[in-house]
Chain A
Amino acid sequence: MQPIKWLVDFIDVRLGIKEIYNKELRGYLLPRNVNVWYTLGAVLMALFTLQIITGILLLMFYVPESEKAFASVQHIVNNVPYGWLFRMLHAIGANVIVIALLLHMLSVLFMGSYKGRREFTWLTGFTILNLTLGLCLTGYLLPWSQLSFWATTVATDAAGAIPVVGNYLVEFLRGGPTVDNQTLGRFFALHVVGMPLVLLGLIGAHLFCVKRRGISSAPFGPEYKASEELPFFEHEVHPDGIPFFPNYFVKDAAVISFFIAFMLAIIFYAPGMFFPESAFQPADPFLTPPHIKPEWYFLWAYQTLKIFPSEIIGLGVQVAFMTFLALLPFIDRGPERRPAKRPFFVTCYVLGILLFVAISIWGHYS
């Protein structure tokens, strides 16, 4: 214990870390009725950190050139010790992040946490969701498999539905008329540096918004208070709350452990879950594999495009829906946060989830 105490004192005298510790960790009080859904933020931060670490490791062997990319991934998976493990952690991790993001968003919607002057938190969060999907899309191309190549071709084609600038936009995204080496180059740069930097910035902004405004209490139980729209800034405090550290911190740690166990279970017991056969064939620009379809989190968009006879309408519907979600705090302005007292919202919420699941399943089988 002595050397640690000595070290802490050494730093504290110079930087006052004990004061920060007492104020931000031990003194940071959370509402008593905080529930397990509140851990998802920490889970996501842990998962993103894992993505960065595994991503850096993969970067040491991956070659971002169309002639060599597939072989480099094969090299990692077959020859580099534990290469298979880091590749799987990265690929499965991406899918688990999307699952956790959707759960996080669903719980925020259900508890109306975007109300009470928390619009910026919602906006930064929604942008993070979209950026993550962009990271998934750009990352998908890098192994340069049949799946990579054709999923990217289909996804970038969608931009062609935009009138006037559509075709130019598709070429701009791809860096050329077709998906080729120049597409790989720009997707690689975006995936490895561009988007992660923006993501880190957004996460920082998101956390700042949460802490600055103060964490909201869950809208359940006798202590519920409707959110007020005060004409001045208010930092929400919970003087009789529980300390974040160590009391809620251990709950965060528990759920993070379970999520990692879940991820490892997929890797060791269902490794083929997110890898269809076309993921193992090197890209062939002249041969489209049958039944090519995007990853599960894009199936809704894919199927929506197919439902509507006109591509531009299909695209428009998706844009409209996403815009509606993004602006939700400005549309739903009621102070009521209890789900039991928001029947219209909860009905739309449940129907929305069912519709998302149904369209995704349809997209998978069509």
Chain B
Amino acid sequence: MSRAVIWSFLVVSLVLLSIPATSLADETVCLQCHAGLSGYLSAPVADWRTSVHAENGISCHDCHGGDPTDMAMAMSPDRGFIGAPEYEEVPDFCGRCHVGVAKEYKAGAHGKAIAEGGAQCVICHGNHAVKKASLDLINEEDCTRCHSYERAALIKLSLVETDTMIKEMEHDLDRLYRLGFAIDEMQGTLFNQRNIFHRTFHGVDVERVRKKTGEVQAELAKIKGQVTDIDKTLGQRKLWGSVVIGLFILAGVIFLLVRKAYEEEGG
């Protein structure tokens, strides 16, 4: 194969490899058409590209329905197109996939106040530029748009504590995983508790959140106990290991001294 062919192949591969996976979804007719429009019709395209949905291959039709392969039928109700939801329809819209969260939300204060303009999913998470949820979504500036910040601050406080615990635990389990320990069961429990924890907030009920985080923290404490036990075992192993290493080094030194004795004898 000639040099030029090799190099151009390499360059082309590099270019292709640098295109993020999401643009493979360029195949959808939705993106093809809307990207070329202007104003509020094309804004969602750029927003969506930065989202956690795009990272995970969730595209327009996954939420809005319609046919992503057929330009003519792309927005046809016959192909399941449901258009953009009204303000009060948003929780059900997102809740088609995020079932647990929607359930918690509707039972809580925000959900019950939706007819009066209470906050729904899009108000905090955005609609197209949705990022992975973080505690920063609860902040004074945003929450005080409608009411005072005290309750939100209390909820955030109890959430921060648990969030830190969860992150620490994920870190611990990863460390143990890298040492060859079977942490599947603990990881499953942690995953489950994290999900319960994330869902419960959406009921925006201070007492309920406190109670639930209390329960979650109790489960996390159990995992922490197991991790501590494993760490103790590791510490013991290291201790005995060090002793045996010392014995072998000592043996080596003594053998050398014996050798020296033989040398002095003329051997």
Contact = CB atoms under 8 A, between A and B. Distances in A.
Contact of B245 (A77, A247, A265): A265
Interface string A254-285: 11011011001101110110010100100000
A85 to B, nearest CB: 8
A261 B248 contact: yes
B124 interface: no
Interface in B31-84: none
Chain B interface main SS type: helix
Contacts of A257: 248-249, 251-252, 255
A251 B256 CA distance: 6
B250 to A, nearest CB: 8
Chain A interface main SS type: helix
B154 interface: no
Given A250-B262, A264-B244, A268-B241, A242 B255 contact: no
Query: Size range of the interface on A?
Result: 20 to 34
A267 B241 CA distance: 9
User: In this complex, which of A87, A267, A268 has the most chain B Cβ atoms within 10 angstroms of its Cβ?
Assistant: A268
A251 B181 CA distance: 39
Interface in B4-54: 6
Contacts of B251: 253-254, 257
A309 B3 contact: yes
B255 A250 contact: yes
Interface stretch (B90-98, B144-152, B172-180, B195-203): B172-180
B6 A309 contact: yes
B137 interface: no
A257 B253 CA distance: 9
Given A242-B267, A254-B256, A260 B180 contact: no
A277 B178 contact: yes
A251 B255 contact: yes
User: In this complex, which of B180, B251, B258 has the most chain A Cβ atoms within 10 angstroms of its Cβ?
Assistant: B180
B237 interface: yes
A261 B245 contact: yes
Contacts of B237: 268
A74 interface: yes
A84 B179 CA distance: 10
Contact of A275 (B180, B255, B263): B180
A78 to B, nearest CB: 5
14 contacts: A77-B181, A78-B182, A84-B180, A251-B256, A253-B252, A254-B251, A254-B252, A261-B252, A264-B244, A264-B248, A265-B245, A268-B241, A271-B180, A275-B180
Given A246-B262, A264-B244, A275-B180, 10 more contacts: A247-B262, A247-B263, A250-B256, A254-B252, A257-B252, A257-B255, A265-B245, A267-B241, A280-B180, A309-B1
Q: 8 tightest A-B contacts by CB?
A: A268-B241, A257-B252, A254-B255, A261-B248, A247-B267, A257-B251, A254-B252, A258-B252
